[in-house]
Chain A
Amino acid sequence: MLVPQMVGISIVLPFFAAALCLINVTTLRSMLVLGTSVVVSVASLFLVQSEAFSFTPEYLFGIPADGLIAILDFALLFVILGISYRLKNKLIAALTLLQLVPLALLELFMHPGEGAGPTLYGDQFSMIMCVIISIIGSLICVYGLAYMKEHEHHLKLAQSKQGRFFFYMVLFLGAMNGLVFSNNLLWLYFFWEVTTLCSFMLIKHDETEVAITNATRALWMNMLGGVAFVMAMIMIRAKGMPLSLQEIIVADNASALLLLPIGLLCFAGFTKAAQLPFQSWLCGAMVAPTPVSALLHSSTMVKAGVYLVIRLAPAYAGTVFSNYVALFGAFTFLAAAVLALSQSNGKKILAYSTISNLGMIVACAGINTPAAMAAAILLIVFHAISKALMFLCVGTIEQKIGSRDIEDMRGLIRIMPKTTMVAVIGIVTMFLPPFGALLSKWMAVEASAQLPLVVLMLAVGSALTMVFWGRWLGMLMTSTLHQVNLQAEEQSSLIRVPLLFLAAAAVLMSFVAPGLYTSMVLPVLERLYSTDLYVAALGVISNNVGMFALYPIFVIFTLGVIWAARASSSKRVSTRAYSTPYVCGLQDPSDNQRLGFNGPLGQWAEFTSTNYYMENLIGEGRISTWVNVVALGILVILLAGVL
């Protein structure tokens, strides 16, 4: 299936297309982004059909590949050093030097290429990641074309900055594809750092003060992960092991000796996946234009973090370290869900929900059973689709109503009927059965049942999740029939197509979840485990302790939705049934559609209702410090345990 070529296309093409985006011409840029999106998506779909592969490109454009990556590595670190100089930020400079010097030592004295095996490796897990990155990432870039036009129009810029913007957006896709196919840790490290740089540049894109502050924070937190990564490589070499991911995770080699570097690599993963106490960089990242948030939260960046943690999971299976990883992830899941409950800012809810879901994925990696690993991989897929959809919806809504506060989205169905319906699909696929995200959550809870503390956190967190999604869902609908005024919504097709595509994907992918599991997840698991695997037959996913009747539930709910939609269609309900909300008979005598009470002495009293945010109890300002302390505590124990 021309695997090397397809891998080459999905990694290298975005790099070139990105460079061409720097030529700041609108038409060229649109064509480049659309063209790259299509080609990369098709390449990823070709790749999915192949078997697991590994190969080593000796030369890239006539230059020895390893050398090229080494040079680019140093170039990248010097660029970041330059940035730290410009920001006058000593911390970032120090963190860069802490990578530069050890990396130089590693490259010069520790024979990094020794026995490293194939540079690139791809199994079904990498391929799923590649499809997510290539297709969802591309859709977000396409959406970005229309969004950024509106965005810059709004900011009234003299000179368009879109060239640079799309340079980093497209580069991001290439780097992520490189990351998931790298087997050589030096290569992985290079792509890892490219995503760090891209995210920094994209977060600070608007160059406002808060954007620069938040971008700086994102940079130093991720550089912290980078330092851990370099240290891990040095330790691996010091123990005479090759810098090959596959070698490290092979069971025989994963002795206690290697647990420290593995712990450091996981630490790097935690920073990138914005696990507590590093959540603030991802929350801060939402100052960036919406396509950036969508890209960081759904298909790239944070998924790189959990990808590495899951990849390494077999290497620490059965250790106490693994249990602590589970606890750490579960705590992040719970704490981020609590924080999400206290928010009324739509983007922040999405941000905390992302962190929460990533926490669950990390917890699954820590639980480290076949069921948990299946949950982790499936959750990556379904979360990416639904979260990308939700971010694009909130971005679209924000450009129309000028607010991202969910309280301002009450009755949105009247203003933006189509986008609201898409958002409803986004929300429902995020937390209700029979959709994939819930299926993964079900797997995760059943898998965690052996660890009482973990299962308790997952149980409470999942109830909190239900509350903040459920109320958002309801608020979108708040309206009376007298107010209903479904205008046709004007929208660029560059915005509408990605929205509709993602909404359709969220539903359809959930429907094919059993097939997805059998064809893409099971082969990965079978390489690692021989017992307790889930089996998907006739749309029912089951193992020895549980079973999920996905197709029966899916079919009955589909019929149910059709039935409910018919029963509630305007054709079947006569206008005589239209009523007004109950106000104890105290409505305005002259206009009974007016919302409020006719109070004493004929005084008119409006009412307002808002959600319980419990800010004085669980607000960000109140509990952030405490949850960070606890998370840091677990992290310290976790790393101290492997010293």
Chain B
Amino acid sequence: MDFKTIIYVLLAIILSPILGGLLAGIDRRLTAWCQGRFGPPILQPFYDVIKLLGKERLIVNYWQIFCVHIYLISSVLCVALFAMQADLLMIFFVMTVGAVFMVVGALSVPSPYSQLGAQRELIQMLTYEPLLIIVFVGIYFVTGSFKIDAILAYDRPIFLLLPLLYVVLTFALTIKLRKSPFDISASHHAHQELARGVLTEYSGPYLAILEIAHWYDIVLILAICSLFWSTSLVGMAALLAITYMAEILIDNVTPRMTWRWMLAYVWGVGIGLSFFNVALLYARSF
């Protein structure tokens, strides 16, 4: 590993939570604006996390603490591996570790809300994981590599070749962002039937750790999105901005749906779009 890579990795580890937190703040403001409210200050997510970190610790068992730490480690590691321009599929599998341990932490508590949330979270993972693998395979189809350095070396924006796969990727992004219609395992509004779902039993500093890990995850997924227009910074920024605006819009105009609908819809549409896109690629090579 050379000096430049180390700098990249350090920058990614330090900047990701800041970026993720800011994004969450902007997200809340825009959502408020959509709903005709004023909304909290943009730095509110940071205030929340700082406050949570200082709160009293409450646990039902030790596994919860163990699991949030593993989740954080895996999220940070994913971002670091991305900065090292490693293998996309490998990063994906490392991300699974964190996702699984968050579920394990929730399952370890005999509480109806966290159990239900954990089961639904598993279904959410079941929904987006195959799609992410397919997206990476699509990228490999175009660029001939799973390695990020080789993907970045590709001389055209891969979005132009894989527009439909990008849509598939945004499904995964929506699920990961816990946005409607896919916020079925942990709604942002805790007054519903599953309380806070998979997050119900986490509080204080442990909830803060989860929040920070979540910021890392969001930055990672957006970074993967950015690979689709890696040739110019302007293009990249425009793509990400449009994507995120679309996420907020969809969040505000759709209700929460059931897991059955999510699984059927996302797999059906996602796999369909993927095959169509791959077919288009084949057609291009005639």
Partner of B73, one of A438, A480, A560, A569: A560
Residues A123-160 near B (CB distance < 8 A): none
Q: Is A564 an interface residue (CB 8 A)?
A: yes
Residues B95-110 near A (CB distance < 8 A): 96-97, 100, 103-110
Among the stretches B35-43, B62-70, B179-187, the one at the interface with A is B62-70
Can you list, as one digit per residue, whether each of A447-469 has a CB less than 8 Å from chain B (1) or not (0)? 00100100110111011101100
Partner of B130, one of A463, A544, A565: A463
- Minimum CB–CB distance from A551 to chain B (whole Å) comes to 12
Q: Is A548 an interface residue (CB 8 A)?
A: yes
Residues of the B chain whose Cβ atoms lie less than 8 Å from the Cβ of A470: 100, 103-104, 122, 125
Partner of A462, one of B57, B106, B133: B133
A481–B130 CA distance with the chains assembled, in angstroms: 37
Q: Is A446 an interface residue (CB 8 A)?
A: yes
A567 lies within 8 A of B108 (CB) = no
- Minimum CB–CB distance from A538 to chain B (whole Å) comes to 10
- Minimum CB–CB distance from B62 to chain A (whole Å) comes to 4
Contacts known (A459-B133, A470-B100, A475-B107); A565 close to B122, Cβ less than 8 A: no
A474 lies within 8 A of B73 (CB) = no
Residues A423-439 near B (CB distance < 8 A): 432-433, 438
Q: Is A291 an interface residue (CB 8 A)?
A: no
- Minimum CB–CB distance from A449 to chain B (whole Å) comes to 5
B61 lies within 8 A of A449 (CB) = no
Residues of the A chain whose Cβ atoms lie less than 8 Å from the Cβ of B67: 564
- Minimum CB–CB distance from A481 to chain B (whole Å) comes to 5
B65 lies within 8 A of A573 (CB) = yes
Residues A450-504 near B (CB distance < 8 A): 452, 455-456, 458-460, 462-464, 466-467, 470-471, 473-475, 477-481, 484
B107 lies within 8 A of A579 (CB) = no
- Minimum CB–CB distance from B145 to chain A (whole Å) comes to 5
State how many residues of chain B have any CB contact under 8 Å with chain A. 67
Residues of the B chain whose Cβ atoms lie less than 8 Å from the Cβ of A545: 140, 144-147
A584–B191 CA distance with the chains assembled, in angstroms: 10
- Minimum CB–CB distance from A194 to chain B (whole Å) comes to 39
Of the listed residues A410, A464, A557, the one surrounded by the most CB atoms of chain B closer than 10 A to its CB is A557
A329–B90 CA distance with the chains assembled, in angstroms: 23
A565 lies within 8 A of B125 (CB) = no
Can you list, as one digit per residue, whether each of B162-194 has a CB less than 8 Å from chain A (1) or not (0)? 000000000000000000000000000000000
A142–B86 CA distance with the chains assembled, in angstroms: 44
Partner of B69, one of A445, A467, A547, A568: A568
Partner of B100, one of A473, A556, A583, A595: A473
A460–B123 CA distance with the chains assembled, in angstroms: 12
Partner of A547, one of B66, B90, B123, B195: B90
Q: Is B58 an interface residue (CB 8 A)?
A: yes
Q: Is B10 an interface residue (CB 8 A)?
A: no
Residues of the B chain whose Cβ atoms lie less than 8 Å from the Cβ of A564: 65-67, 69-70, 73
- Minimum CB–CB distance from B15 to chain A (whole Å) comes to 19
Contacts known (A433-B94, A581-B114, A582-B201); A560 close to B59, Cβ less than 8 A: no
Can you list, as one digit per residue, whether each of A545-565 has a CB less than 8 Å from chain B (1) or not (0)? 111110001001100110111
Contacts known (A474-B118, A477-B108); A456 close to B90, Cβ less than 8 A: no
Partner of B81, one of A544, A549, A609: A549
A582–B87 CA distance with the chains assembled, in angstroms: 41
Q: Is A255 an interface residue (CB 8 A)?
A: no
Partner of A460, one of B57, B64, B66, B130: B130
A549–B75 CA distance with the chains assembled, in angstroms: 16
- Minimum CB–CB distance from A25 to chain B (whole Å) comes to 47
Q: Is B278 an interface residue (CB 8 A)?
A: yes
A583 lies within 8 A of B111 (CB) = yes
Q: Is A411 an interface residue (CB 8 A)?
A: yes
Q: Is A61 an interface residue (CB 8 A)?
A: no
Residues of the A chain whose Cβ atoms lie less than 8 Å from the Cβ of B133: 445, 455, 458-459, 462-463
A478 lies within 8 A of B109 (CB) = yes
Partner of A471, one of B60, B74, B87, B122: B122
Q: Is B89 an interface residue (CB 8 A)?
A: yes
Residues of the B chain whose Cβ atoms lie less than 8 Å from the Cβ of A568: 62-66, 69
- Minimum CB–CB distance from B67 to chain A (whole Å) comes to 8
Residues of the A chain whose Cβ atoms lie less than 8 Å from the Cβ of B103: 470-471, 474
Residues of the A chain whose Cβ atoms lie less than 8 Å from the Cβ of B87: 546-549
Contacts known (A455-B134, A477-B63, A479-B61); A549 close to B86, Cβ less than 8 A: yes
- B59 nearest CB neighbor, chain A only: A577
Partner of B134, one of A459, A544, A563, A573: A459
A578–B65 CA distance with the chains assembled, in angstroms: 12
A459–B84 CA distance with the chains assembled, in angstroms: 25
A581–B113 CA distance with the chains assembled, in angstroms: 9
Residues of the B chain whose Cβ atoms lie less than 8 Å from the Cβ of A584: 195
Can you list, as one digit per residue, whether each of A580-603 has a CB less than 8 Å from chain B (1) or not (0)? 111110000000000100000000
- A481 nearest CB neighbor, chain B only: B61
Residues of the A chain whose Cβ atoms lie less than 8 Å from the Cβ of B129: 459, 462-463, 466
Residues of the A chain whose Cβ atoms lie less than 8 Å from the Cβ of B70: 560-561, 564
- Minimum CB–CB distance from B207 to chain A (whole Å) comes to 13
Partner of A546, one of B60, B63, B89, B134: B89
Residues of the B chain whose Cβ atoms lie less than 8 Å from the Cβ of A580: 60
Q: Is B119 an interface residue (CB 8 A)?
A: yes
A473–B106 CA distance with the chains assembled, in angstroms: 11
Residues of the A chain whose Cβ atoms lie less than 8 Å from the Cβ of B97: 432-433, 557
A8–B2 CA distance with the chains assembled, in angstroms: 52
Residues of the B chain whose Cβ atoms lie less than 8 Å from the Cβ of A579: 58-60
Residues of the A chain whose Cβ atoms lie less than 8 Å from the Cβ of B30: none
A438–B59 CA distance with the chains assembled, in angstroms: 32
Q: Is B155 an interface residue (CB 8 A)?
A: no
Partner of B126, one of A463, A480, A547, A569: A463
- Minimum CB–CB distance from A307 to chain B (whole Å) comes to 27
B107 lies within 8 A of A432 (CB) = no
B107 lies within 8 A of A567 (CB) = no
Contacts known (A455-B137, A545-B146); A481 close to B126, Cβ less than 8 A: no
Q: Is B16 an interface residue (CB 8 A)?
A: no
Q: Is A607 an interface residue (CB 8 A)?
A: yes
- Minimum CB–CB distance from A448 to chain B (whole Å) comes to 8
A546 lies within 8 A of B145 (CB) = yes
Partner of A474, one of B90, B106, B146, B147: B106
Q: Is A78 an interface residue (CB 8 A)?
A: no
Residues of the B chain whose Cβ atoms lie less than 8 Å from the Cβ of A578: 59-60
A475–B137 CA distance with the chains assembled, in angstroms: 33
B69 lies within 8 A of A577 (CB) = no
B58 lies within 8 A of A560 (CB) = no
Residues of the B chain whose Cβ atoms lie less than 8 Å from the Cβ of A455: 133-134, 137
Of the listed residues B58, B122, B195, the one surrounded by the most CB atoms of chain A closer than 10 A to its CB is B122
- Minimum CB–CB distance from A487 to chain B (whole Å) comes to 17
A581 lies within 8 A of B62 (CB) = no
Residues of the A chain whose Cβ atoms lie less than 8 Å from the Cβ of B33: none
Q: A474-B106, A481-B61, A611-B119 given. 10 additional CB < 8 A pairs? A: A445-B137, A471-B118, A477-B108, A480-B109, A547-B90, A556-B73, A560-B69, A578-B60, A579-B59, A609-B116
- Residue pairs across A and B with Cβ atoms less than 8 A apart, 11 shown, are A452-B278, A456-B134, A463-B130, A466-B126, A470-B125, A474-B103, A480-B110, A547-B87, A567-B69, A581-B111, A612-B119
